[in-house]
């Protein structure tokens, strides 16, 4: 039986609550009086949160790459709290390495977590949100999508695939009262590079400078020689602010580095578009061009 106090709060379903943005977001939401389904591959890692907020939490085992666990986790959430108001697709990982050398198996594993796992959860949760005619979905992407750094092609492509479905999904479910936000963070001081990042070694000499630089950067981050600028707690507050908004953004950049990266990318794209505009416009059939000219003249 759902208590009235639970019914008056939003129910958050957050994947990957044991690490990354998942834990600070879950903790912040709980401290604000909300209800959270804490999912993790090892739910023992979130038992302390569940113990602190026993009436407003449910700790559930969930590996997003296992469809049976996805269905069971959502089923338990609905059975306990009656609804899911906010779905946060946070669980993710990074396989970094040179495109020539990352194995097919590693590429598929990357997409199973960052794309297909999210797609599966969306398809299981959306019927409930459609029925209740409300909901907000936060898909955690990355500002790296706008940077195209060497060695990150597989990770970035998985996040770009996620952004592709997120934009379309927003248009598909808007009339049901469901909102979608792509969260595009820069680098934050989480445990991502300790727990969720794998760098594939290179055996090709020409690529070694790239991989060596990446490897050194990750080591410096892990050893705290480089202090990443992003504060996960402030990221959690920003995401909650977006969910609180009556007009939330489709894209939410997090961090000054993310804003700088996206600004530079947009300027770069616009510069390329303008430089090649004449060539781009020259590919229409002549009669189509003539019709457009005639309409413009008549107007």
Q: Identify whether 19 is part of a domain.
A: yes
Spot the catalytic one: 19, 142, 158, 159: 159
In this prediction, residue 39 has a pLDDT band, given cuts at 50, 70 and 90, of very high
pLDDT at residue 2 greater than cutoff 80: no
H or E segment at 31? helix 22-31
Q: Identify whether 115 is part of a domain.
A: yes
pLDDT at residue 22 greater than cutoff 70: yes
Q: Identify whether 167 is part of a domain.
A: yes
More confident residue, 198 or 137: 137
pLDDT at residue 196 greater than cutoff 90: no
pLDDT on residue 5: 35
Give per-residue pLDDT as tens, 91-111.
Answer: 988 899 999 999 999 999 999
More confident residue, 218 or 174: 174
More confident residue, 209 or 221: 209
Give per-residue pLDDT as tens, 141-191.
Answer: 999 999 999 999 999 999 999 999 999 999 999 999 999 999 999 999 887
Count how many domains the chain has: 1
Q: Identify whether 106 is part of a domain.
A: yes
Q: Is 141 a catalytic residue?
A: yes
Average pLDDT, the chain: 92
Closest CA to 88 of 15, 196, 158: 15
Q: Are 180 and 250 in contact (CB under 8 A)?
A: yes
Closest CA to 89 of 211, 9, 180, 28: 180
- The pTM of this model reads 0.91
Q: Is 241 a catalytic residue?
A: no
Give per-residue pLDDT as tens, 258-298.
Answer: 999 999 999 999 999 999 999 999 999 988 877 776 655 65
pLDDT on residue 1: 35
User: What is the b/e burial string over 36-66, where b = at least 16 CB atoms within 10 angstroms of the residue's CB?
Assistant: bbbbbbebeebeebbeebeebbbbbebbbbb
Q: Identify whether 299 is part of a domain.
A: no
Spot the catalytic one: 18, 141, 158, 166: 141
pLDDT on residue 193: 66
Q: Identify whether 9 is part of a domain.
A: yes
| 221: its two tokens | 């981050």
Work out the average pLDDT over 211-233. Answer: 87
Q: Identify whether 110 is part of a domain.
A: yes
Spot the catalytic one: 142, 155, 158, 179: 155
Q: Which domain holds residue 26?
A: 4-254
CATH number for the domain that contains residue 73: 3.40.50.720
Q: Identify whether 49 is part of a domain.
A: yes
């Amino acid at each position: 039986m759902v208590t009235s106090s639970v019914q008056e709060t939003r129910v958050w379903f957050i994947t990957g609550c044991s690490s990354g943005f998942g834990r600070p977001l879950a903790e912040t939401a709980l401290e604000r009086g909300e209800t959270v389904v804490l999912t993790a591959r090892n739910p023992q890692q979130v038992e302390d949160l569940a113990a602190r907020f026993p009436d407003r939490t449910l700790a559930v085992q969930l590996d997003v790459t296992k469809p049976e666990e996805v269905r069971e986790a959502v089923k338990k959430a609905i059975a306990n709290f009656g609804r899911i108001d906010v779905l946060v697709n946070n669980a993710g990982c990074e396989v970094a390495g040179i495109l020539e050398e990352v194995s097919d198996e590693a590429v598929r594993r990357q997409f199973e977590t960052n794309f297909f796992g999210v797609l599966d959860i969306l398809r299981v949760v959306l019927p409930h949100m459609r029925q209740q005619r409300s909901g907000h979905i936060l898909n955690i992407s990355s500002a790296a999508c706008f940077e195209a750094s060497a060695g990150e092609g597989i990770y970035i492509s998985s996040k770009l695939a996620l952004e592709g479905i997120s934009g379309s999904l927003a248009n598909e479910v808007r009339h049901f009262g469901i909102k979608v936000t792509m969260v595009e963070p820069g680098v934050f001081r989480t445990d991502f590079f300790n727990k969720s990042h794998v760098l594939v070694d290179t055996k090709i000499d020409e690529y070694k400078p790239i991989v060596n630089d990446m490897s050194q950067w990750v080591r410096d981050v892990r050893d705290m020689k480089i202090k990443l600028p992003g504060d996960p707690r402030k990221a959690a507050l920003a995401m909650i602010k977006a969910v609180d908004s009556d007009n939330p953004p489709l894209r939410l950049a997090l961090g000054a580095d993310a804003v700088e990266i996206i600004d530079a990318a947009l300027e770069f794209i616009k510069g390329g578009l303008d430089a090649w505009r004449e060539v781009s416009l020259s590919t229409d059939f002549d009669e189509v061009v003539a019709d457009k000219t005639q309409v413009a003249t008549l107007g």
